Structure 1
Amino acid sequence: MSPLPHTPAALLDAFRTLNATSPRLSWYGAEGERVEFSGRVLDNWVAKTANYLVDELDAEPGQVVALDLPLHWRSMVWLLAGWAVGATVATGEVAGGAEIVATTDPAAAHVRLAGASPAPLVVAVALPALAMRWMGELPPRTLDYCGDVRSHGDQFFPDAEPGGSDAAWRNGDGGAVAETNYAQLLPAAEPAEAPRRVLLQARDGWGAVVPQALKAWAAGGSVVLLGDGVEATDALRSSENVTEG
């Protein structure tokens, strides 16, 4: 049996090498949207986003990447890509000191960040699965993630991996800010006899969803993530072969 991944890089390697065509992330949106990613496809999205961060935004290990995004499949991709780069990813309205801010409301982000020095790069993220670009006018000094990310490489090779004591995740959705370092992201997981299929709900917040997703993925399982407004029915659980949640 292959050792379970204990770093983001090892987790992404597992996505593309261990049962790479099996589902790893399924997303349900409130408008009836359902999107499913195999391990290989999820790794591909993360690699493109990590390359985008480095090539377009000059992201480096230790920089703060703030996600002004709801829990969504795109925000999970950004989270994993930030860790692939070695950044500190901030969620739950923790944007202090951010060099990069990914947002669904770039106009409001510019207002909120006015006066910040140095001014962070603002990246507009359209959420619909088929969005090929930002629909509508973008404010000045704003980049279009969906319009640019597909041109970037399908594989990501970091120049260096972060140290275990480096800050990986800063989450403030519970009021107080909780910080997790890279050594704490993927604690030792027990091998599962059969892959777990875990149902998670965005309404529970980053602090509940992310650790459970990482735990399931590290053990070779998969996640069904429900957006706000999506009901976790017995029929949905049955159709998705959910084993937990």
Structure 2
Amino acid sequence: MSIPAIELMTALRSGQSTSPRLTWYGPDSERVELSGRVLDNWVAKTGNLLQDELDAEPGTRLRLDLPAHWKSAILALAAWQLGMEVVFGDAEAELLATADPGPGAALGAFDAVLAVALPALAMRWPGELPSSVLDYAAEVRSHGDVLMPHVAPEASRRAVRSVTGAEHSHGGLLDGFAAAPADGVRLLVPAGNGLEAALAQALGAWHRNGSVVLVHPEVTVTEKLLADERVNGG
């Protein structure tokens, strides 16, 4: 069964697939640009990691204990393509993706934990990890470039549960949860507004054949940045 998240990724990899879809400005002069094709490749690899290594399936809950970041967006898109539910804050979940896999991440509250190193060039987690924690950066590249869900996702299942308690199904993900910017927008998304807000804005932009410039709170948004990136919304 096709759901909106699957249809969205099909559109991003097939229509103007070499155009920028997600551009990240991070600390230490980081700039990461993902075209539709590259974004889809990351999402496919991540989805395959989730279902092959962590037994994710429709209805499995993934808590994203992460800031607004390009890797957070990829994890959310991968989860939605598998029919999973993305949750935030301290909501209960089977799986946890976190940039802070301290002792609390290994206490048995989750079936599995992903440690997500945020620096753009990180090939693995910088340091030791508990044996129960999987290193996202070290594992994701070995997975397949095409995502085929093992179990067909269902449109009626929950896709998002917000920190306010609001819920959105997979069928209503793009019409309910996603924001509604102008068609073809190049949207500035401040990461400081939080991951949930960033995902809603990004989904809305991509749904309307647009793209996103996601900017870390420590990065100053200058007129030059806006002009260089051709931002026309935000």
TM-score (norm 1): 0.88
Contact 1:95–1:101 (8 Å) recurs in 2: no
Q: Which amino acid aligns with 2:128?
A: E
**1:30 deviation in Å?**
2.2
The count of residues paired between Structure 1 and Structure 2 equals: 230
Aligned 1:21-60 pairs, distance under 5 A = 21-60=18-57
**1:231 deviation in Å?**
2.0
Cα distance, 1:220–1:179 mapped onto 2, change above 3 Å: same
Match of 1:227 among 216, 229, 234: 216
> Equivalents in 2 of 1:128, 1:167: separation in Å?
31
Aligned 1:162-241 pairs, distance under 5 A = 162-172=153-163, 176-187=164-175, 192=183, 195-241=184-230
Percent of aligned positions with the same letter in both sequences? 50
Cα distance, 1:9–1:138 mapped onto 2, change above 3 Å: same
Contact 2:46–2:74 (8 Å) recurs in 1: yes
Matched residue of 2:154: which SS? coil
Contact 1:171–1:206 (8 Å) recurs in 2: no
Matched residue of 2:145: which SS? coil
Match of 1:142 among 108, 128, 133: 133
> Equivalents in 2 of 1:217, 1:94: separation in Å?
28
> Equivalents in 1 of 2:182, 2:131: separation in Å?
49
Match of 2:98 among 94, 103, 118: 103
> Equivalents in 2 of 1:150, 1:133: separation in Å?
11
> Equivalents in 1 of 2:50, 2:26: separation in Å?
26
**1:181 deviation in Å?**
1.2
> Equivalents in 1 of 2:124, 2:166: separation in Å?
33
Which ranges in structure 1 are unaligned for 5 or more consecutive residues? none
TM-score (norm 2): 0.92
Contact 2:3–2:170 (8 Å) recurs in 1: no
Q: Which amino acid aligns with 1:100?
A: L
Cα distance, 1:190–1:233 mapped onto 2, change above 3 Å: closer
> Equivalents in 2 of 1:95, 1:143: separation in Å?
21
Matched residue of 2:24: which SS? strand
Q: Which amino acid aligns with 2:167?
A: E
Contact 1:94–1:170 (8 Å) recurs in 2: no
Matched residue of 1:110: which SS? helix
> Equivalents in 2 of 1:206, 1:126: separation in Å?
16
Which ranges in structure 2 are unaligned for 5 or more consecutive residues? none
Cα distance, 1:54–1:115 mapped onto 2, change above 3 Å: closer
